[in-house]
């Protein structure tokens, strides 16, 4: 299959282009170490400095301020309560590069960077890590693990269930585990809308066992639901006329739109049509599953990943994890309203 260069900005796995890749499952520590995700951090107190230089922390004396009362910077501190005397705010600093990754209140827990994620992931599911992506200077991280076998939807169209651990040091992501399903043909990533579990850093055996059961059961349930839904959609014919009606709903064209909106809509519509053509070229006659993946793939590989005319894989991945895939979500909602050829409608995978 030859895709025009304009849309072929994601060579290989869009999630893993800058990630540590593996050909077989390894330990979480090995994969995260190779991605340089296990860097050291420190938590220095946040302070402020007068633009004129030294400032006073003491009281004036008859001879003026004592030298010991003059400081280059002031650290605001908590005045009462359990954290009394602690710095009011603190930074998270990556000590190997001296880069500031986040600013937090005194209550923010001081963990050893992302090492607790490696510990928990490996304790729960040994030797199953497949990739690790570090975002920016290390503000966020994502680790994937493969827990179950691939699922063949028929004719060689295979999906691979995984779980994805996410965490951040800048406070934008809470530590959580999501189900993530990769469609091997086009490397589309279907990220669960809700996390399987929100993770607390713990070494308690009972807590870890409970987490393992919750993650495994949730991942298996969602994979089974998604696979069943996909198999139903594969068997539902979807014509070019129907696909264009879907495109017109997702990216409607109006003459009174601004030129910027027209440009965005035309880019989106072109991406939808190109991915639809690619799907049919690979799999034959159109069906509902191909229609959904054409929309989802265009949004993931083109629309969400483009910034200032260039494709950014981390940007696309981050938007997927943040749930910012409105076109794919709306496409699925619309497809679920289409009557099936044998009655009923497609059931959502949730």
Please give the Cα distance from 278 to 183 (Å, whole number): 14
Q: Where are the alpha helices (DSSP H) in 193-251?
A: 205-234, 240-250
Task: Tell me the whole-structure pTM to 2 decimals.
Answer: 0.74
Structure-block tokens of residue 105: 């209140």
- List, as one string, the DSSP characters of 99-154: EEEEEEETTS----TTHHHHHHHHHHSTT-EEEEEEETTTTEEEEEE--S--EE-S
What are 275-304's pLDDT values in tens digits?
A: 999 999 988 888 999 999 999 888 888 888
Nearest to 279 by CA among 141, 183, 136, 181: 183
**Residues facing 133 on adjacent strands:** 142
| Max Cα distance, the chain (Å) | 95
Q: What is the CA radius of gyration of the chain?
A: 25
CA 93 vs. chain centroid, Å, equals 22
Residue 343 has a CB neighbour count (10 Å cut-off) of 6
Torsion (CA) 135, 141, 147, 151 in degrees, nearest 10: -30
Positive or negative torsion for Cα 201, 202, 208, 213: negative
Question: What local confidence, expressed as pLDDT, does residue 12 receive?
Answer: 31
Q: Do 193 and 322 touch, CB atoms closer than 8 A? A: no
Please give the Cα distance from 186 to 203 (Å, whole number): 39
Distances (CA, A) of 136 to 32, 217, 312: 15, 33, 12
For 191-230, give one letter per residue: b (16+ CB within 10 A) or e.
bbeebbbebeeeeeeeeeeebeeebbebbeebbeebbebb
**Residues facing 104 on adjacent strands:** 90
Q: Do 99 and 93 touch, CB atoms closer than 8 A? A: yes
Question: What local confidence, expressed as pLDDT, does residue 112 receive?
Answer: 92
Nearest to 194 by CA among 349, 42, 298, 316: 349
Q: Within the chain, which residues score under 50 in pLDDT?
A: 1-23, 58-68, 70, 342-350
CA 24 vs. chain centroid, Å, equals 22
Question: What local confidence, expressed as pLDDT, does residue 65 receive?
Answer: 43
């Amino acid at each position: 299959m030859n895709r025009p260069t304009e849309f072929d900005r994601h060579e290989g796995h869009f999630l893993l282009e800058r990630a540590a890749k593996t050909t077989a499952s390894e330990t979480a520590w090995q994969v995260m170490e190779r991605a340089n995700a296990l860097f050291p951090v420190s938590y220095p107190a946040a302070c402020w400095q007068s633009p004129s230089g030294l400032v006073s922390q003491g009281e004036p004396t008859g001879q003026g301020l004592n030298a010991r009362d003059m400081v280059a910077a002031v650290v605001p501190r908590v005045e009462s309560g359990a954290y009394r005397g602690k710095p009011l705010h603190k930074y998270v600093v990556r000590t190997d590069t001296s880069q500031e990754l986040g600013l937090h209140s005194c209550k923010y827990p001081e963990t050893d960077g992302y090492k607790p994620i490696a510990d928990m992931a490996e304790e729960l599911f040994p030797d199953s890590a497949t990739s690790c992506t570090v975002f920016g200077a290390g503000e966020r991280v994502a680790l994937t693990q493969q827990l179950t076998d691939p699922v063949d939807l028929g004719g060689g169209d295979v999906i691979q269930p995984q779980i994805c651990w996410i965490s951040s040091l800048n406070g934008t992501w809470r530590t959580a585990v999501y189900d993530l399903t990769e469609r091997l043909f086009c490397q589309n990533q279907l990220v669960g809308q809700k996390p399987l579990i929100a993770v607390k850093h713990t070494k308690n055996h009972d807590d870890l066992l409970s987490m393992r059961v919750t993650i495994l059961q949730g991942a298996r349930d969602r994979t089974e639901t998604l696979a069943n839904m996909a198999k139903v959609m594969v068997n539902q014919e979807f014509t070019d006329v129907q696909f264009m009606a879907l495109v017109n709903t997702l990216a409607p064209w109006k003459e009174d739109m601004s030129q910027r909106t027209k440009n965005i809509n035309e880019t989106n519509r072109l991406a939808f049509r190109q991915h639809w053509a690619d799907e049919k070229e690979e799999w034959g006659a159109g069906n509902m599953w191909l229609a959904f993946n054409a929309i989802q793939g265009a949004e993931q590989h083109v629309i969400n990943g483009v910034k200032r005319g260039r494709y950014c894989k981390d940007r696309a991945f981050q938007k997927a994890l943040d749930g910012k895939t409105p076109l794919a979500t709306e496409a699925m909602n619309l497809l679920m309203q289409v009557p099936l050829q044998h009655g009923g409608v497609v059931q959502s995978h949730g």
